[in-house]
């Protein structure tokens, strides 16, 4: 602590004097900066540590795993524990159980602790730039200078809500699914979930016992077997994860390249909840929300819904605009191949 204080005092002594005096930037040199301490960031850290590389992992939230802790209360992973562990540490649960979001959060925190990964929490990255052959990662008054940067934060971080939402009657309680916790957040009365993919379907089931639920949007399809059944657990899921996703639907195959645009633009098929489950719970399916009429949500078939709550299960917009480098295509996505960013040696996503 004394050494750190001395370094900061020395840096401040070099700052300009007068009313506009500010502490000089504190600079730290490492080989690699990993941004984000989720599954991806911790996995990268595991391999860097084994190679003896000098690196840091920067995490915006106060604890490793807080991104999971912030999700809705009833959320469980869509993959059984058999597939949820990171390299070097199996997930501590029955192989075919579905861990809760808090169990996943605690697992990630334990993983970082077990391998003594250099995670710095509460560190928000303001921007990533480049100076010569090195990258500059700025966080507040600290600059990390590195040869390599791995952006392991999710590439979709900003809730996507249509502009017309601002025209809805202010008495309607509305928010994005990223802010949903439980039914206690809602007004009395019915609720409209906009977006019928996995988040919308899961939240619909969570609310069906306390509210009349409307689910708007196109049906994305569903896995045609009982997801938690013996057949699915021991045969279907291994084929899906080990062969379909890891071998067939990759950018290295014609089938994977053809499927990728659809995967990015639309929600994945329903995994756990089936259409029959929604029907049995009393969830009412309606068409896409197209706009607003007299302060109420207007569907594209002309129907107007009188609801007290709206939850926008409409996904997220790209949120990597803090990378101040020419790496984005016309759609706002990073130009990359298997994580290696085009035209920026040493930058990865």
Q: Are 170 and 296 in contact (CB under 8 A)?
A: no
Q: What is the pTM of this model?
A: 0.84
pLDDT tens per residue, range 135-171? 999 999 999 999 999 999 876 678 999 999 999 999 9
The CA distance from 221 to 214, in Å, is 18
Nearest to 165 by CA among 292, 12, 9, 347: 292
* pLDDT, position 263: 61
* pLDDT, position 130: 97
Cβ-in-10-Å burial (0-12, 13-18, 19+) of 142 comes to middle
Q: Are 187 and 310 in contact (CB under 8 A)?
A: no
The CA distance from 193 to 280, in Å, is 17
Listed in sequence order, the residues at least 6 apart from 44 whose beta carbon sits closer than 8 Å to its beta carbon are: 34, 150, 152
**Alpha-helix residue ranges (DSSP H) falling in the chain:** 2-13, 39-50, 66-69, 101-114, 198-207, 230-231, 237-239, 254-265, 275-280
Collapse the DSSP code of 44 into the 3-class scheme (helix H, G, I; strand E, B; otherwise coil) and give the result.
helix
- Residue 120 phi/psi, 5-degree rounding, is -115, 110
Give the count of alpha carbons within 13 A of 313, CB side only.
27
Domains of the chain: 26-157+318-341 (3.50.50.60), 160-223+269-315 (3.50.50.60)
Give the count of alpha carbons within 13 A of 228, CB side only.
12
Q: Where are the beta strands (DSSP E) in 40-155?
A: 55-59, 119-121, 127-131, 134-139, 142-151
Q: Are 160 and 316 in contact (CB under 8 A)?
A: yes
Orientation angle between helical segments 39-50 and 101-114, nearest 10 degrees: 20
Q: Are 204 and 278 in contact (CB under 8 A)?
A: yes
Cβ-in-10-Å burial (0-12, 13-18, 19+) of 83 comes to middle
Q: Are 195 and 314 in contact (CB under 8 A)?
A: yes
CA distances (Å), origin 316, targets 128, 159, 288:
21, 4, 18
The tens-digit pLDDT sequence of the chain (349 residues) is 344 444 444 444 444 444 455 666 899 999 999 999 999 999 999 999 999 999 999 999 999 999 999 999 999 998 889 889 999 999 999 988 999 999 999 999 999 999 999 999 999 999 999 999 999 999 999 999 999 999 998 766 789 999 999 999 999 999 999 999 999 999 999 999 999 999 999 999 999 999 999 999 988 887 766 666 666 667 777 777 677 777 777 878 887 777 776 666 566 778 788 899 999 999 999 999 999 999 999 999 999 999 999 999 998 887 899 999 999 998 888 999 999 999 999 999 9
CA distances (Å), origin 75, targets 104, 161, 167:
11, 22, 31
Collapse the DSSP code of 230 into the 3-class scheme (helix H, G, I; strand E, B; otherwise coil) and give the result.
helix
- Residue 105 phi/psi, 5-degree rounding, is -60, -45
Q: Which residues of 179-211 are buried (b: 16+ CB within 10 A; e: fewer)?
A: ebeebeebeeebbbbbbbbbbbbbbbbbbbeeb
Q: Are 83 and 145 in contact (CB under 8 A)?
A: no
């Amino acid at each position: 602590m004394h050494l750190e204080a001395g370094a900061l005092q020395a840096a401040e002594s070099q700052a300009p004097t007068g009313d506009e005096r500010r502490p000089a930037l504190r600079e730290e040199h490492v080989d690699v900066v990993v941004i984000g301490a989720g599954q991806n960031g911790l996995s990268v850290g595991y391999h860097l540590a084994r190679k003896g590389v000098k690196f840091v992992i920067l995490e915006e939230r106060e604890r490793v795993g807080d991104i999971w802790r912030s999700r809705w209360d009833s959320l469980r992973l869509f993959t059984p524990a058999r597939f949820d562990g990171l390299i070097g540490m199996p997930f501590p649960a029955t192989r075919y159980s579905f861990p809760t979001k808090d169990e996943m959060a605690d697992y990630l925190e334990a993983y970082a602790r077990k391998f003594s990964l250099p995670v710095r929490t509460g560190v928000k990255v303001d921007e990533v730039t480049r100076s010569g052959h090195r990258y500059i990662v700025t966080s507040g008054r600290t600059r990390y200078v590195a040869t390599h940067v791995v952006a392991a934060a999710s590439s979709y971080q900003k809730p996507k809500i249509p502009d017309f939402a601002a025209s809805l009657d202010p008495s309607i309680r509305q928010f994005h699914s990223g802010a949903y916790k439980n039914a206690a957040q809602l007004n009395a009365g019915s609720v409209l979930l906009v977006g019928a993919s996995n988040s919308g379907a899961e939240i619909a089931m969570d609310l069906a016992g306390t509210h009349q639920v409307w689910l708007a949007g196109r049906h994305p399809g569903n896995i045609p077997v009982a997801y938690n059944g013996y057949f699915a657990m021991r045969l279907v899921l291994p084929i899906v994860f080990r062969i379909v996703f890891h071998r067939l639907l990759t950018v290295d195959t014609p089938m994977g390249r053809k499927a990728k645009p659809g995967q990015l633009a639309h929600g994945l098929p329903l995994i756990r909840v089936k259409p029959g489950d929604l029907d049995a719970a009393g969830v009412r399916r309606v068409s896409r929300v197209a706009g607003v009429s007299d302060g109420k949500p207007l569907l594209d078939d002309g129907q107007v819904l009188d609801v007290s709550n709206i939850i926008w299960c409409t996904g997220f917009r790209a949120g990597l605009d803090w990378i101040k480098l020419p790496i984005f295509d016309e759609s706002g996505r990073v130009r990359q191949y298997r994580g290696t960013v085009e035209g920026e040696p040493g930058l990865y996503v």
